[in-house]
Structure 1
Amino acid sequence: MSDINANGEMTRTGEAGFGDYVALLKPRVMSLVVFTALVGLLVAPVPMHPFLTFTCVLFIALGAGASGALNMWWDADIDRVMRRTRNRPIPAGLVEPGEALGLGLALSGIAVVMLALAANVAAGLLLAFTIFFYVVIYSMWLKRSTPQNIVIGGAAGAFPPMLGWVCATGSVSVEAVLMFMLIFMWTPPHFWALALFMNNDYKDAGVPMLTVTHGKRVTRNHILIYTIALVPFALAAGFTSIGGPIYLLVSAVLNAGFLYGAWKIWRRDEVQAEADHYATEKAVFKFSLLYLFLHFSAFLLEAALKSFGLGGW
């Protein structure tokens, strides 16, 4: 059920359902974490039993969900202000903040301990650090204090493929680092494209996104610069054990498309953007999602071909 509050805003009433607790775990973000972690695990040089693979990915997913619940607990005040988050379980009044905190802490402990037991201690420690980084370093510190929030904080979303790799191998290698850097360098232009057309939300919530602190012109410049900086890391992965000619071809096409989109964003001004309701920025944001998905799909394809004695270098 829904009610209209004193500010004319739609609010939900009633008891929380199972779906509301699932929403606390940020399932959309979790799906990306699961996919990239699974790829990191499957392309590693040490094969794992399918059941063990499933178990590791499950606990990595639980860790991601725990991070999401803790983030929603901490950011409840911001979520009430922003249009795209005001219907989340806590601001909607369906879940108490304390419930979200308890769920997040419980799942964090379960995920870290069980991943360490299922895979290795290094994987458990890396998952613990990833949760800590997202909740404490990004959510509690960077997000509200610096326009570099999404740059540094992007590391939290870049750890999953490295986590998968460490589950299989127990160590970090250049391949794991390049998968990390691919996501790390992709994150700023991805989110800044979103911030260009969601700027009022961040401004109203007091979040110092680059569009708020330095303006949209500076943000457009940064999108182009970071996209250019992303390309070498994406292509370099193609020359490692997880790459190959198919990956390089896919990466070259995707990077050309992303660069073209970043250039289109860079050359526009706000008059043009507002005239077409930020159509270009929205299109680049959507393409950036496809960009990441297809890169990791290409890693997976190369690994599958190599298992049949094909692909690779």
Structure 2
Amino acid sequence: MSVVDHTAIELPAVRISEADVGDYIALLKPRVMSLVIFTALVGLVIAPGHFHPVLAFTSLLCIAVGAGASGALNMALEGDIDAVMSRTANRPIPRGRITKAEAMAFGMTLAFFSVMTLGILVNWYAGSLLAFTIFFYVVVYTLLLKRRTAQNIVIGGAAGSLPPVVAWVAATGSISVEPLLLFLIIFFWTPPHFWALALFRSDDYARAGVPMLPVVAGPDATRMQILLYTIVLVAIAAAPWPLGYFDFVYGITSLVLGAGMLVLAINVYVSRERSRSLRATRKLFAFSILYLFALFATLLIETVMRTVMPLVG
């Protein structure tokens, strides 16, 4: 009878995850999530009719978690890109804190529960639209567009433009012109915002092999595209006022903010010397964030005041 030497059997090493709560929060892309929550809140508030506060909170939570799921899945699929870009090298996956499989499992779990919860507790129209938003960002943008075309951010920007539409549909069960206007504002805001970033981060994108517009077409063509998209953005953002969808305060605010965006976009276009160009693009990138926040905040405040004033009177 042979004797088995148990000391010769080696068990496979078990990897102990080094991730902490902060690493999983980072996977959610909290800065992007905060913008998603805010734009969705505006879509929710301007929607007509009464929406129960618990359902409103549930809707915002599901949209936020869905955005976080998209961020986690995006990071799982772009770990190789993030590792060679200075802007993203400290994310959890490039640092080895979280594996791609763990990020995928985390993202898929969040996506499933956010969509199912919104569908079951609110309505399936909103749940389906949230599922489409996640799919569009992860599959269409991340997998199909990001590494293949310089128009990645233009087409892919549709995903980031949908949260206020999802919120409106959650509140009303239908769609209307107002949320589509919000969609268009974010959609045309996205290219000048991200191309400004891409201009002063073009070396990063070139090193990662991502065909962002400055890498493929050059900085001059990118400056022209930024200016053209900014002109369209300013026009679309101002249009709801004369069309009667949003009020006077929003209209004036959109014109003032739009003038600021246009001046900065023109400055980017005419600034060709490297140091001056970097300053111009950084200013446009920073102001574009303020632009979108202030525009939506004005709409939010205007709607709240319109609701509160009759009660006070």
Q: How does 1:196-207 map to 2 (within 5 A)?
A: 196-207=199-210
* CA apart distance, 1:196: 0.8
**Residue 53 of structure 2 is aligned to residue 50 of structure 1:** yes
Distance 2:122 2:243 in 1: 24
Q: Which residue of 1 aligns with 2:38?
A: 35
Contact conserved, 1:112 with 1:127, CA < 8 A, in 2? Answer: yes
Q: Which residue of 1 aligns with 2:87?
A: 84
Distance 2:128 2:247 in 1: 31
Q: Which residue of 1 aligns with 2:9?
A: none
- Which amino acid counterpart does residue 60 of structure 2 have in structure 1? V
SS of equivalent residue, structure 2 residue 90: coil
* CA apart distance, 1:308: 2.9
* CA apart distance, 1:241: 6.3
Distance 1:239 1:107 in 2: 41
Contact conserved, 1:81 with 1:204, CA < 8 A, in 2? Answer: yes
- Which amino acid counterpart does residue 117 of structure 2 have in structure 1? M
Q: Which residue of 1 aligns with 2:185?
A: 182
**Which digits, 9 at most, give the CA deviation of each residue in 1:94-129, with x for residues without a partner?**
001100000111111100010112221110000000
- Which amino acid counterpart does residue 67 of structure 2 have in structure 1? A
Contact conserved, 1:43 with 1:242, CA < 8 A, in 2? Answer: no
Q: Which residue of 1 aligns with 2:236?
A: 233
* CA apart distance, 1:309: 4.5
SS of equivalent residue, structure 2 residue 147: helix
- Give the greater-gyration-radius structure (CA): 2
Q: Which residue of 2 aligns with 1:280?
A: 280
Contact conserved, 1:41 with 1:161, CA < 8 A, in 2? Answer: yes
* CA apart distance, 1:268: 1.4
Unaligned runs of 5+ in 1: 1-12
- Which amino acid counterpart does residue 105 of structure 1 have in structure 2? M
**Residue 292 of structure 2 is aligned to residue 292 of structure 1:** yes
**Residue 259 of structure 2 is aligned to residue 256 of structure 1:** yes
Unaligned runs of 5+ in 2: 1-15
Range that drifts further, 192-201 or 41-50: 41-50
Q: How does 1:140-219 map to 2 (within 5 A)?
A: 140-219=143-222
**Which digits, 9 at most, give the CA deviation of each residue in 1:205-244, with x for residues without a partner?**
0000000000000000000000011122101223466510
Residues 190/237 of structure 1: CA separation in 2 closer, same or farther (3 Å cut) = same
Q: Which residue of 2 aligns with 1:7?
A: none
May I ask how many residue pairs the two structures share in their alignment? 295
- Which amino acid counterpart does residue 114 of structure 1 have in structure 2? T
Distance 1:205 1:287 in 2: 27
**Residue 136 of structure 2 is aligned to residue 133 of structure 1:** yes
Across the aligned residues of Structure 1 and Structure 2, the Cα RMSD in angstroms comes to: 1.4
Distance 1:228 1:46 in 2: 34
Distance 2:189 2:93 in 1: 30
Distance 1:172 1:233 in 2: 19
Contact conserved, 1:16 with 1:95, CA < 8 A, in 2? Answer: yes
**Residue 86 of structure 2 is aligned to residue 71 of structure 1:** no
